[in-house]
Amino acid sequence: MQETYHIRAKKDYAVSLIELLRKDDAVEDLELQQFELSESQKTAIDKELNLIDGGPAYLQNWEDVKHRFKKP
C-alpha cells in the first residue's frame, strides 16, 4: 500500500535529501489538484472580501485572537 505525505521542507539539507530521492525515483512529484468553486461559494467569498474592504472594524487584533484560542 502506498502512502502519500505532504511536507514542507524547512531546512536546506531536507531539500537536498528530497532531490536525491527524486533522482533515485524513490519519490514522485504530484500536481496540485485544481478545483472549481460553486457560485454560492464565490458569493460567500465576495461578501467576506467586501466586509474586509469596508473597514478595519471587521478585522480583529491578532493578539486578541491568539489569547482567545490559547489553552488554559
User: Three-state SS for 18?
Assistant: helix
Q: How confident is the model at residue 72 (pLDDT cuts 50, 70, 90)?
A: low
The reported pLDDT for the residue numbered 43 is 93
How does pLDDT run across 14-33, given as a tens digit for each residue? 888 888 888 888 887 776 56
| Interior/surface letters 20-30, b for 16+ CB within 10 angstroms, e for the rest | eeeeeeeeeee
What's the pLDDT at 15?
86
Dist CA 41 CA 39 (whole Å):
5
Q: How far apart are CA 28 and CA 2, in angstroms?
A: 11
